[in-house]
Amino acid sequence: SQKIEQNSEALNIQEGKTATLTCNYTNYSPAYLQWYRQDPGRGPVFLLLIRENEKEKRKERLKVTFDTTLKQSLFHITASQPADSATYLCALGRTGNQFYFGTGTSLTVIP
Amino acid sequence: DAGVTQSPTHLIKTRGQQVTLRCSPKSGHDTVSWYQQALGQGPQFIFQYYEEEERQRGNFPDRFSGHQFPNYSSELNVNALLLGDSALYLCASSVLGRERYNEQFFGPGTRLTVL
């Protein structure tokens, strides 16, 4: 079955720096990959989607890369702010809306 | 637009009982997916409903069943509750058919505790 791994440790970075989160997968060939943000006690909030034929996607301070050869996606938050502190989830999909989620990476941005 | 709403917010049940969770999708959305999220884990796909039928199902036992109504709202039923069913249950809505890759909007979830 598919396996999706995100940064195993929580990530702490200084405000203003770039946060980089990883999502690695095996036994799966996704057609697209999504990144979500989740705050404690809340549902995930969609951030970005990238398709298998796209290498990079940007939205404001966010950037996602997708390497289907390495089976890896990187998620970058530039000029990070304390308000960016949350858990970030990657989710892989192939058809319809069935997604396989990773376990998430907890990010803390220190003022 | 109220977005995706779920009820109840919290629920406490005992082993062996049955529970029904409810979800109202975002206005204009026709597809509802249910996920189970255990503490410290990512959401696990349970099933998806479209046009009042179950379209896709994840690796969950038959104790988990659902329904979608003509107004697109949905229910998740869990029978014979086990301690391991304690989790945050998330509902997500989307629009199927307009594009293959569709953004899902999640509700706040229902926290189920089984004692």
How would residue B5 be classed by pLDDT, with cut points 50, 70 and 90? very high
Strand segments (E) across A1-111: 3-6, 11-14, 19-26, 32-38, 45-51, 56-59, 62-67, 72-77, 86-93, 99-101, 105-110
Res B60: pLDDT: 96
DSSP string, B33-58: EEEEE-TTS--EEEEEEETTEEEEE-
Among A70-84, A88-102, B9-23, the range scoring the smallest mean pLDDT is: A88-102
Three-state DSSP at B84 gives: helix
- Does A8 lie at the interface with B, CB-CB under 8 angstroms? no
Q: How many angstroms away from the CA of B78 is the closest CA of chain A? A: 20
Q: Which residues of B touch A104 (CB under 8 A)?
A: 41-42
Exposure string of B7-24, with b = 16+ CB inside 10 Å and e = fewer, is eeeeeebeeeeebebbbb
- Does A28 lie at the interface with B, CB-CB under 8 angstroms? no
For chain A, give the mean pLDDT.
Answer: 92
Q: Which residues of B touch A95 (CB under 8 A)?
A: 100
Tokens of A48: 């970005």
Q: What is the mean pLDDT of residues B36-64?
A: 93
Q: How many angstroms away from the CA of A30 is the closest CA of chain B? A: 11
Res A101: pLDDT: 93
Res B8: pLDDT: 97
Spatial strand order in the sheet of A62-67: A3-6, A19-26, A72-77, A62-67, A56-59
Chain B residue with minimum CA distance to A41: B108
CB pair distance less than 8 Å for A43 and B40: no
CA angle B27, B34, A44 (to 5 degrees): 75
